[in-house]
Amino acid sequence: MQTLARTSALAALLMLAAALGACDAPAQTERVGPIRVVRVGRPDIAAMKEVISGMWALCKSGKEHRIVNGPAPLPSDAYLAEFRAEESEDLFDGKQKASYHTSRTISPDIRRNCELTVFTERVASIEHACRHYIGGSTTPIIDFFDNDTPATHEVNEEELECLNDRPAPPDDVAGLPSESAGNARCIWQSKMLFPESAVSRSSSSEEKDRGVDICLYERLPTYPFGDGRYPVILKIRQLDRLAVNGPRIPKFLMAHLVLKDDPIAFSDGDPIPPQRFTRAALESFLKQPTRTPIESAR
């Protein structure tokens, strides 16, 4: 549920970013080259441990047909601090773009006597502008809680056609504040959509209502691609109304919801191997293990 909510909010922001790029902007000369962004999101440790304990107790109680209240064999705080609940890699290279996204959670595996296991879900897409699209995904994490659900993946392809000869003009971000994002700088989309809040330390009510904010690469907020533009996202953050202890979402539903994604790798201008934009690469990504015992994951 929390994954779907986060995905829907982010999808809405991506649509806003595309619309922003489609607006009229002053003519500028763009320097466009290969761009690679890798972001990682880590969960709230205390909330995650609470949910893992509850899930483990339920699993053991079901297996032993009695109430089990003993302490769960929780991972260490150090392990959870490095746990990559969300991991995204976005690649842009001229008329090619690709996205590889991984979601992970920790839960007892009923098939292995409730052994704590990392369950993984992967989604990927590759697009050749105005020509071809390849997309694929693995079994959703939530389905793994049914021990009869097999780990599978599916891939689909379709032909694409552009409506216009060229993408929208570049974004006009002159004068907007930026902040550090690893070895680059980015501008929060909320400051692009609501410029009046750019001079304030607090977020406007309109910003908070959107739930999720994305920080776009300062030099090239959106990448020209086919007949549109795609956001180059360096950071993602949840806004106030999605805080872990917020009034709208119970804490147990927020345990694995990442509060922010930060960049761990970024490059602008470095060559990207052409095979990263192939169906073979996408299928290789999806065929990785979906269940990994905690001990093996260390």
Q: Give the pLDDT score at 170.
A: 80
Rounded mean pLDDT of 67-94?
90
What does the pLDDT look like over 116-150, one tens digit per residue?
Answer: 999 999 999 999 999 999 999 999 988 877 666 77
Rounded mean pLDDT of 87-94?
96
Q: Give the pLDDT score at 47.
A: 85
Reported as a pLDDT band with limits 50, 70 and 90, residue 242 is very low
Task: Indicate if the pLDDT at residue 196 is higher than 70.
Answer: no
Reported as a pLDDT band with limits 50, 70 and 90, residue 247 is very low
Q: Give the pLDDT score at 27.
A: 38
Can you give the pTM of this predicted structure?
Answer: 0.80
Q: Give the pLDDT score at 71.
A: 83
In this structure, is the dihedral angle defined by the CA atoms of residues 142, 145, 149 and 150, taken in order, positive or negative?
positive
Q: Token digits for 97?
A: 């773009």
Mean pLDDT (the chain, rounded): 79
Reported as a pLDDT band with limits 50, 70 and 90, residue 22 is very low
Task: Indicate if the pLDDT at residue 209 is higher than 60.
Answer: no
Q: Give the pLDDT score at 241.
A: 41
What does the pLDDT look like over 26-79, one tens digit per residue?
Answer: 334 567 889 999 999 988 888 889 889 988 998 888 877 677 777 888 999 999
List the domain boundaries for the chain.
2-297
Rounded mean pLDDT of 158-170?
81
Q: 48 — alpha (psi -120 to 50), left (phi > 0) or beta?
A: alpha
What does the pLDDT look like over 3-16, one tens digit per residue?
Answer: 444 444 444 444 44
**CB-based contact 35:223 (threshold 8 Å):** yes
Determine the straight-line distance between the first and last CA of the chain, rounded to whole angstroms.
27
**CB-based contact 225:188 (threshold 8 Å):** no
Q: Give the pLDDT score at 197.
A: 55
Task: Indicate if the pLDDT at residue 184 is higher than 70.
Answer: yes
Q: Give the pLDDT score at 19.
A: 44
